[in-house]
Amino acid sequence: MSAVRVLLLGGTGEARALAARLVDAGVDVTSSLAGRVARPRLPVGPVRIGGFGGVDGLRATLRGDDGYDLVVDATHPFARGMSANAVAACGAEDVPLLRYERPGWPPSPRWHVVGTHEEAAALAARLGRRPFLTVGRQELARFTGPLRDHAVLARVVDPPDVDLPTAWTLLTSRGPYTPEGERALVEAHGCDVLVTKDSGGSFTWPKMQVADERGMVVVVVARPEPEPGVQVTHDLDEAYDWVVSRTRR
Ligand code: NAP
């Protein structure tokens, strides 16, 4: 067993995959989840759940008696608050940090790529009548105003905290999804616009495929820029090697 302790900021399938490989290799890795979803898929190995309490809380966690020597931030590409805190806390505590970010989807010239959820909401309101909204529970409040009178199908993992317009249909479900399932869903609801963020990965790709097939308008919220000053990889093998090479000195 390695003496080097690794904190893996997770909440993604890739983080779970990395945790499994590291545990297998005998690395002392603890996965951290935000505790946002009611029934999270748990990674292999030790898990802690809940926020750290900002940068100061994370700094205290890193240097505590059961502190950490390395941090891998494998949170979702849009989980920018956690990534920023990791950069600040690891910098202040001199703990090596690697950001693993799942690659984005290969862009299509058909997509309307926008920089913010607000732009996505305005565009979807203009370009469609029956949007399929798959931006995540935490972003829904940005869409309720502009899409108040649209027949929105909003799909989320857990129900949102905000009240949704009466014209909307809420669907709670969790991927991975299949092209057959997505086809049946958008047909049943007559969706004419797909709104998504560039989450990347294969779990939620089938909706992109089906939207393309059906000639739906596709509005994609682009990823924010990575935090400056952090080493980033899009390759899970590279992330694994980064950790293992630092635990076997
Ligand atoms: P966020 O806005 O970046 O983070 C907000 C706060 O939540 C952080 O400051 C931190 O609280 C806590 N937090 C986030 N990730 C954490 C983690 N892995 N371990 C412990 N605390 C964490 O994040 P978010 O967008 O709410 O996402 C929360 C989690 O859900 C992430 O782990 C992410 O990987 C996963 N997720 C996000 C999305 C998305 O679209 N945003 C989609 C799928 C999964 P403190 O300041 O108290 O430490």
Mind listing the pLDDT tens digit for each residue in 110-165? Answer: 999 999 999 999 999 999 999 999 999 999 999 999 999 999 999 999 999 999 99
Q: pLDDT class for 249, splitting at 50, 70, 90?
A: low
> Measured from the CB, is residue 81 less than 6 Å from ligand 1?
yes
Do residues 93 and 59 make contact, with C-beta atoms less than 8 angstroms apart?
A: yes
Mean residue pLDDT across the chain = 96
What would the mean pLDDT of 239-246 be, rounded to a whole number? 98
User: What's the pLDDT score for residue 223?
Assistant: 95
The response to whether residue 52 sits with its C-beta less than 6 Å from ligand 1 reads yes
Containing H/E element for 217?
A: strand 217-221
Residue 235 has what pLDDT?
97
Q: Residue 74 CA: which ligand 1 atom is closest?
A: 34
* pTM tops 0.75: yes
Residue to substitute in 82, 117, 199 for testing ligand 1 pocket (most ligand atoms within 8 angstroms of CB): 82
CA distance 247 to 249: 6
Q: What is the pLDDT of residue 2?
A: 45
Tens of pLDDT, residues 57-111: 999 999 998 899 999 999 999 999 999 999 999 999 999 999 999 999 999 999 9
Whether the per-residue pLDDT at 244 is higher than 60: the answer is yes
Closest-lying ligand 1 atom to the alpha carbon of residue 135: 40
Mean pLDDT within 35-55:
94
